[in-house]
Amino acid sequence: MEYTHLGRTGLKVSRICLGTMNFGSFASDEESFNIMDRALELGINFFDTANVYGSEKGVGYTENLIGRWLEQGGRRDKIVLATKVHNKMGEGVNDLKLSAYNIRRACEDSLRRLKTDHIDLYQMHHIDRETPWDEIWQAMERLVSEGKITYVGSSNFAAWNIVEANYTAKQRNFLGLVSEQSIYSLRNRHIELEVVPACKAMGVGLIPWSPIGGGILGGVLSKTNDKQRRGREALQKSVEKLRPQIEAYEKLCKEINHHPADVALAWMLNNPVVTCPIAGPRTVQQIEENVMASSLKLSEDVIKKLDEIWPGPGNQAPEAYAW
């Protein structure tokens, strides 16, 4: 396993991040424990979750599951643990978003569920346009000073959100955002316009989620009989819409003798702004395959062909559309 710095920090994380959104929902508790055990054995030290994950089984179910795994002992100091705050966690009017009130309470609840005394990376799950940055940073500064969190990250932020957040933090002599989780894959390259350049300029590590494009880049044409996480009907609509591209993609992957999912991850890791894509396995075998993909190096010729099949904007903004 290779490791890299998380953004501009001195913290090193594995080039594959273990995503836990499927834990307790599409992976049983037992299989989830096995996946975490195997991930640790394979050198993955970066585990990502959110307070809202697993909510169909009860509020905070996935965090509770991870907490039970950590409670077995000897594991907490081997991982960089990340979770998130923002989404609705109760019926109260303040049980969501990024008020100082909710940040403090949500953090305490996550610590209790995770059975730990600190969160390594505390991420804002979405932008909150109703709460001023000074209030958000005051709450985060307090959590840092109390030793309850170490770093702060964002998720699903626009480029200007990232820049505004970090300039406001700088005025307060606070480190600010060190990472951003964005949807990103060969299939969906919108963030190359502004988010990727913003992350590069601000020293913010990019942590892509859905790197396999919702299953589209995972060899979907050979898996038509498999049960898909997002539902067979929704997936089939996407397949039919993108069939020419998918066929060309899977043909190229076959020519270079690599599984489509491995190629999708390898393409992403070729981008120097990317810290690590989030793998969301449902089985031990899937996390083993994800780790194998992290060592795959693609030639410039293959990358050029991938760009032709799945074209991005061609440049950052405004060059991509202004001239």
Q: Which helix (H) or strand (E) holds 224?
A: none
State the virtual CA torsion across 275, 277, 283, 285 in degrees, nearest 10.
Answer: -70
CA of 278: how far to CAs of 20, 109, 254, 306, in Å? 9, 24, 24, 21
Catalytic residue positions?
53
Sheet of 149-155, strand order = 205-209, 177-183, 149-155, 119-124, 80-85, 46-48, 17-19, 278-279
Omega prior to 211 cis, within 30 of 0? no
Sign of CA dihedral 43, 296, 9, 49: negative
Strand 12-14 to 3-5 pairing:
antiparallel
CB atoms within 10 A of CB 222: 12
